[in-house]
């Protein structure tokens, strides 16, 4: 997919960014050709938050391994995030499967960015949200139907197997086993797969005694309640170009930046298209 260069307006005046209590971004896939870095930069210029969670697959280590692709715009995104951290935003990085290498650095801080395996975010409304990328449960999603009939031990074994399976693949340099690729190949309709994923993550939040979950991984942004658990998915900045914001009252909103940027571009064209005012003829 070609990068959408006209979404970014270099040299234009810096916009007054909109401030949120919290921003959640995931699946940026920097280092992959498909990453929408220009649109993402535009998003970061227009939006700010007290706390920013990077919910995994921020850098695509698997793609970079196959061939180095790191254009200036990808660098600019990293600089922009570091700058937000310097200016006082709390930036928390929760690695995913594509940036699994960062999982070796959990507990450490780089340039003001805290790297953690997962987090528990408390909303302004006092709700506790598990913040996790979501790939940890691939094997559970894949086997959701029969795993549900077995006890807790089977679930624990499955999660442990998932971790070791992917660690071994990394060790031997085999590519990451992709749940979504598998789903597209195996599952007749993707809706089943998305539903299984959502249910699995909501169940995990319940197991951990929290009110909800904020995750990424399947590139499908949504906010919904599943069996009394609030399920929030940030989406991605590859295809859909979405993020999730938490407002000051603790409510969540999906920000569709492709749409927002397109609407802004359209309205600025309209403004330009208006005929210049002429002095009234005497």
Return residues touching Mn ion (CB under 5 A): 57, 96-97, 135, 217
In angstroms, what is the minimal distance from the CB of 179 to Mn ion?
8
CB nearer to Mn ion: pick between 52 and 94: 94
Cα–Cα distance for residue pair 184/187, rounded to 1 Å: 6
φ/ψ (deg, to 5) at 4 = -90, 85
CB nearer to Mn ion: pick between 106 and 260: 106
CB nearer to Mn ion: pick between 42 and 99: 99
CB nearer to Mn ion: pick between 55 and 129: 55
In angstroms, what is the minimal distance from the CB of 215 to Mn ion?
9
Are 37 and 3 within 8 A, CB to CB? Answer: yes
CB nearer to Mn ion: pick between 55 and 85: 55
Cα–Cα distance for residue pair 40/32, rounded to 1 Å: 14
Nearest alpha-carbon partner for 220 in 179, 186, 250, 167:
179
In angstroms, what is the minimal distance from the CB of 97 to Mn ion?
5
Q: Other CB atoms closer than 10 Å to residue 272's CB: what's the count?
A: 7
In angstroms, what is the minimal distance from the CB of 116 to Mn ion?
16
In angstroms, what is the minimal distance from the CB of 218 to Mn ion?
8
Task: Estimate to the nearest angstrom the gap between the alpha carbon of 197 and the chain centroid.
Answer: 15
Please count the helices (runs of H) and the strands (runs of E) in the chain: 9, 12
Cα–Cα distance for residue pair 255/234, rounded to 1 Å: 9
């Amino acid at each position: 997919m070609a990068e959408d260069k006209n979404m970014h307006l270099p040299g234009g005046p810096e916009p007054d960014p909109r401030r949120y209590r919290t921003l959640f971004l995931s699946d940026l896939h920097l280092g992959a050709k498909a990453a929408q870095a220009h649109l993402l930069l535009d998003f970061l210029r227009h939006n700010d938050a007290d706390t920013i969670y990077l919910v995994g697959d921020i850098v695509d280590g698997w793609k970079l391994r196959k061939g180095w692709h790191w254009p200036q715009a990808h660098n600019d995104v990293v600089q922009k995030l570091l700058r937000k951290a310097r200016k006082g935003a709390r930036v928390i990085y929760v690695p995913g499967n594509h940036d699994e290498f960062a999982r070796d650095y959990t507990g450490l801080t780089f340039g003001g960015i805290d790297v953690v395996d997962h987090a528990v975010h408390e909303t302004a409304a006092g709700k506790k949200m598990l913040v996790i990328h979501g790939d940890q449960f691939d094997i559970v999603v894949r086997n959701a139907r029969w795993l549900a009939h077995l006890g807790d031990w089977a679930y624990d074994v499955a999660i442990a197997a998932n971790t070791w399976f992917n660690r071994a693949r990394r060790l031997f340099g085999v590519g990451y086993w992709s749940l979504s690729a598998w789903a597209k190949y195996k599952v007749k309709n993707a809706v089943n797969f998305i539903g299984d994923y959502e249910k699995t993550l909501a169940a995990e939040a319940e197991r951990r005694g929290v009110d909800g979950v904020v995750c990424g991984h399947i590139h499908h942004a949504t906010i919904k309640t599943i069996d009394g658990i609030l399920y929030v998915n940030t989406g991605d900045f590859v295809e859909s170009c979405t993020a999730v914001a938490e407002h000051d009252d603790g409510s969540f909103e999906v920000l569709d930046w492709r749409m927002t940027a397109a609407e802004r571009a359209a309205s600025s064209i309209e403004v330009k298209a208006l005929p210049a005012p002429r002095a009234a003829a005497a």
